[in-house]
């Protein structure tokens, strides 16, 4: 097991009816900016619950943060923060609203020239404006981590940022919010959280027995609840297990002491930036070819995953590892998610070369757990995913 340090300061308030507890979490003298997305919260009653819990504080609102939070929109919100002398941010939404809020938390206190530098110069935020979240869509784990991904339509870029100053102070997780989520987004959440576990698990063995079993148990739970959540999102037990699995998949715990991959996400973000494909679906496109291309390096963990998660007991390590990839693709298809780039766009020729060039230009010369996935290899993997 590798050495590690672990600190996660986010307070989780989980359960039925927990949105009303918001009242106790925000300082009474705060000037709050309530941030939300395209308006789903106004249709499903979450907005009303939040407003009710905030009657005693000074609240300004900013809605319209799009999926894949857009830099230009966030700059508008930043203006409001400055004009209204906001002191506290509250994200009410999914990963996009929470990530947008993290960007604003960093940008509000940023001393540099242009806040886009936070992303291009990889500036870590040690201290941001304090913020909390009310999660409306289980998927990203953003509610209990310190990372964010921001999109800039103008340049077709999607870049990550983060730092210890960007953990939410609290996140409210009421599984009842799952009831109003459309099937496409439910499938996305299941897919994204599943891949988050894989990115931190499907590497090579380092003798981290507990981390492996944490990861496997999250995968098994997602597989178990997936059909229930899709069939009936009002099933509270299924929704609660789905929600907590998504949070646990990316709150830092399972990645401690083990190598991480994250190349699937790096390639996937480019597919969102270039074609606007939903984040989770880009992962379904890249994962199978990534595992096939890196089969030798990953086969021990693939076989362990095949045995423990999919009950594949027959055959050699290679057989089990290969069967595990097949099972994974089958699971994605059962979620109703296509796994080839050509399923999403007819305009895919040249994509692999473009992504490879972007990685070269950014100096991303060695991705993955061995830091040896060079742009020419990335090009091959993306091509295999056509
Ligand atoms: O915008 P509104 O109207 O609220 O509608 C949203 C949006 O259209 C809707 N929705 C959310 N909660 C709902 C609901 N509809 C009905 N009922 C509800 N309760 O769902 C749509 C998608 O929302 P979005 O926030 O975009 O989805 P998700 O949570 O999947 O977030 C995706 C973003 O997070 C980033 C992705 O790259 C992408 O930009 N990620 C963030 C990570 C992190 N910070 O740790 C890690 C991930 O790997 C990921 O990269
Ligand atoms: Zn993801």
**Which pLDDT tens digit goes with each residue over 234-260?**
999 999 999 999 999 999 999 999 999
Q: Tell me the residue length of the chain.
A: 386
**Which pLDDT tens digit goes with each residue over 203-230?**
999 999 999 999 999 999 999 999 999 9
Residue 301: the pLDDT is 98
Q: Tell me which of 156-160, 208-212, 224-228, 294-298 is least confident.
A: 156-160
Residue 1: the pLDDT is 96
Q: What is the mean pLDDT of the chain?
A: 97
CATH architecture of the domain 182-384 equals: Up-down Bundle (1.20)
- The kind and range of the H/E element at 89 are strand 88-93
Average pLDDT over residues 271-298: 97
- Separation CA 51–CA 345 (nearest Å): 41
68 lines ligand 1 (CB under 6 A): yes
Q: What 3-state class would DSSP assign to 272?
A: helix
Mutate to test the pocket of ligand 1, among 35, 49, 96 (most ligand atoms within 8 A of CB): 96
Counting atoms of ligand 1 from 1, which one is nearest the CA of 68? 39
Ligand nearest to the CA of 148: 1
Average pLDDT over residues 335-339: 98
Q: How far is the CA of 151 from the centre of ligand 2 (A)?
A: 14
**Which pLDDT tens digit goes with each residue over 6-25?**
999 999 999 999 999 999 99
- pLDDT band (50, 70, 90) for residue 365: very high
Domain boundaries defined on the chain: 11-176, 182-384
Residue 42: the pLDDT is 97
Residue 80: the pLDDT is 98
**Which pLDDT tens digit goes with each residue over 100-121?**
999 999 999 999 989 999 999 9
Residue 70: the pLDDT is 97
**Which pLDDT tens digit goes with each residue over 40-64?**
999 999 999 999 999 999 999 999 9
Residue 363: the pLDDT is 95
- pLDDT band (50, 70, 90) for residue 202: very high
Strands (E), 195-320: none
Average pLDDT over residues 142-153: 97
Q: How far is the CA of 280 from the centre of ligand 2 (A)?
A: 6
Q: Which of 259, 319, 254, 261 minimizes the C-alpha distance to 290?
A: 261
Residue 153: the pLDDT is 94
Handedness of CA 215, 225, 195, 291 (dihedral sign): positive
Burial (CB count within 10 angstroms: exposed 0-12, middle 13-18, buried 19+), residue 258 = buried
Average pLDDT over residues 353-358: 98
- pLDDT band (50, 70, 90) for residue 65: very high
Q: Which residues contact 285 (CB under 8 A, 6 or more apart)?
A: 268, 271, 277, 338, 339, 340, 341, 343, 344, 385
Q: Which residues surround ligand 2, an ion (CB under 5 A)?
A: 192
- pLDDT band (50, 70, 90) for residue 314: very high
Tokens of 349: 């020729």
Average pLDDT over residues 19-46: 96
- Separation CA 72–CA 75 (nearest Å): 5
- Pairing relation of β-strands 157-162 and 58-62? unpaired
Q: pLDDT over 70 for what percent of the chain?
A: 100
195 lines ligand 1 (CB under 6 A): no
11-176 carries CATH number 3.40.50.300: no
């Amino acid at each position: 097991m590798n050495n590690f340090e672990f600190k996660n300061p986010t307070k989780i308030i989980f359960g039925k009816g927990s949105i009303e507890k918001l009242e106790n979490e925000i300082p009474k003298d705060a000037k709050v900016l309530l941030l939300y997305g395209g308006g789903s919260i106004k249709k499903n009653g979450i907005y009303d619950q939040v407003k009710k819990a905030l009657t005693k504080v000074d609240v300004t609102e900013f809605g319209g943060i799009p999926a894949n939070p857009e830099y230009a929109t966030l700059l508008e919100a930043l203006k409001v923060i400055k004009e209204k002398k906001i002191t506290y941010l509250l994200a009410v939404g999914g990963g996009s609203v929470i990530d947008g809020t993290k960007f604003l938390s960093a940008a509000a206190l940023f001393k540099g020239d242009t806040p886009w530098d936070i992303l291009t110069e990889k500036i870590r935020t040690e201290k941001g404006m304090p913020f909390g979240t009310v999660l409306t869509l289980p998927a990203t784990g953003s509610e209990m981590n310190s990372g964010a991904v921001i999109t800039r339509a103008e340049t077709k870029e999607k870049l990550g940022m983060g730092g210890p100053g960007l953990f939410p102070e609290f996140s409210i997780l009421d599984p009842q919010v799952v009831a109003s989520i459309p099937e496409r987004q439910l499938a996305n959440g299941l897919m994204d959280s599943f891949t988050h576990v894989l990115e931190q698990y499907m590497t090579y063995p380092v003798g981290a027995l507990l981390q492996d079993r944490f990861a496997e148990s999250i995968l098994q739970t997602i597989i178990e609840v997936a059909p229930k959540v899709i069939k009936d999102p009002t099933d509270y037990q299924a929704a609660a297990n789905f929600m907590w699995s998504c949070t646990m998949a990316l709150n830092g715990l399972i990645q401690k002491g083990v190598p991480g991959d994250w190349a699937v996400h790096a390639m996937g973000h480019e597919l969102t930036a270039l074609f606007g494909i939903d984040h989770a679906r880009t992962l379904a496109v890249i994962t199978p070819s990534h595992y096939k291309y890196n089969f030798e390096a990953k086969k021990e963990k693939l076989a362990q995953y095949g045995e423990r998660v999919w009950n594949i007991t027959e055959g050699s390590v290679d057989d089990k590892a290969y069967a595990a990839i097949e099972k994974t693709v089958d699971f994605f298809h059962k979620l109703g998610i296509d796994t080839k780039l050509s399923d999403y766009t007819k305009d895919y020729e040249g994509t692999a070369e473009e992504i490879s060039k972007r990685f070269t230009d950014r100096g991303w010369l060695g991705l993955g757990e061995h830091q040896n996935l060079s742009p020419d290899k990335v090009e091959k993997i993306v091509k295999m995913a056509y």
